[in-house]
């Protein structure tokens, strides 16, 4: 795992989404050139959706071979299949329905009322099994202590004002998980209360983890997570990539960062 997160500050939210989209296109193209295919983990939330919207609007999107891209989700709101608040449904509207993905490579997290009914823990276990199957018997990225997940190229995370990432909230059971790769979340402080979420060990299997935060209400969370807080109290601080951890911020979200952590001007 890399020691020092890299911080990039953009002038505004729109610019941040465009810069993140441009980087993601490059990362996917590079991974496809190096390994034949790419795998990306998507996030819910406004910033994750803005990135997908910017990607859909970019002419450079045609540089990606969409048929050789695996898509996973870091978390999901456990709601009925077509619910407009599901992260998967929102991602489809922003980008996925506009590009020629291979449906067999798109892996939404389960919805409520389907095969798992309202059992969010069974739904989480099913997604963990799907990840393990895709990783193969010798999961390339996984420490022996938990079941494998694929070696994601880029894992995207929005950051909440309380420092949550995916559906891992400060001091909640999910953030303490060391064995399971996906957990059912009960009583999430951000609605809806039932969610599924990758855990920190699964997140840390990614080559690159990118954290997105925009707006003044995120400034305190960003400063805390980047100032040595531990992952239990500040889950964003525990989200690290194996080769890179990149924070993409707008100016407002970066406004409380101590000078030493700000990129040089
Ligand atoms: O499903 C969700 O709600 C998320 O995945 C969550 O972790 C989100 O990314 C953050 O709350 C940031 O959301 P914003 O980008 O909207 O601030």
Q: Which of 13, 41, 45, 203 to mutate to test the pocket of ligand 1 (most atoms within 8 A of CB)?
A: 45
Taken in order of first residue, the domains within the chain and their CATH numbers are: 6-137+147-255 (3.40.50.1360)
C-alpha R_g of the chain: 17
Ligand 1 atom nearest to 49, measured from its CA: 15
What pLDDT score does 142 carry? Answer: 47
3-state secondary structure of 249: strand
**Residue 70 to residue 131: CA distance in whole angstroms:** 11
CA–CA dist 39, 66 (Å, integer): 11
- Separation of 218 CA from ligand 1 center, angstroms? 11
What gap in Å lies between CA 228 and CA 17, rounded to an integer?
A: 26
DSSP labels for 203-240? HTTSSEEEEEE-SGGGHHHHHHHHTT--TTT-GGGG--
Q: pLDDT for 117-175, tens place per residue? A: 999 999 999 999 999 999 976 544 444 445 699 999 999 999 999 999 999 999 999 99
Mean per-residue pLDDT over the chain, rounded: 94
Q: Which protein residue's CA is at the shortest distance from atom 5 of ligand 1?
A: 44
Protein residues whose CB sits closer than 6 Å to any atom of ligand 1: 43-48, 75, 77, 87, 158-160, 164-166, 190
For ligand 1, atom 2, which residue shows the shortest CA distance?
44
Tokens describing residue 95: 């980008």
Collect the ranges in the chain with pLDDT lower than 50.
139-145
């Amino acid at each position: 795992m890399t020691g020092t997160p890299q911080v990039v500050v953009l002038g505004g939210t729109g610019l941040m989404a465009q810069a993140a989209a441009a980087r993601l296109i490059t990362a996917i193209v590079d991974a496809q050139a190096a390994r034949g295919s790419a795998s990306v983990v998507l996030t819910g939330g406004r910033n994750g959706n803005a990135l997908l919207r910017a990607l859909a609007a970019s002419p450079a999107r045609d540089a990606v071979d969409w048929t050789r891209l695996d898509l996973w989700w870091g978390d999901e709101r456990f709601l009925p299949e077509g619910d407009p608040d599901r992260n998967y449904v929102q991602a489809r509207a922003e980008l996925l329905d506009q590009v020629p993905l291979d449906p067999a490579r798109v892996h939404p997290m389960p919805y409520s009322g389907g095969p798992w009914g309202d059992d969010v823990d069974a739904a989480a276990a099913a997604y963990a099994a799907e990840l393990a199957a895709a990783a193969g018997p010798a999961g390339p990225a996984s420490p022996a202590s938990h079941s494998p997940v694929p070696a994601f190229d880029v894992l995207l995370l929005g950051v909440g004002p309380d420092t949550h990432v995916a559906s891992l909230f400060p001091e909640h059971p999910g953030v303490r998980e060391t064995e399971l790769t996906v957990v059912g979340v009960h009583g999430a402080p951000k609605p809806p209360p039932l969610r599924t979420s990758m855990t920190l060990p699964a997140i840390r299997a990614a080559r690159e983890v990118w954290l997105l935060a925009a707006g003044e209400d995120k400034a305190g969370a960003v400063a805390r997570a980047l100032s040595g807080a531990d992952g239990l109290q500040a889950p964003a601080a525990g989200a690290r990539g194996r080769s890179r951890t990149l924070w993409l911020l707008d100016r407002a979200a970066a406004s409380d960062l101590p000078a030493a952590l700000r990129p040089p001007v």
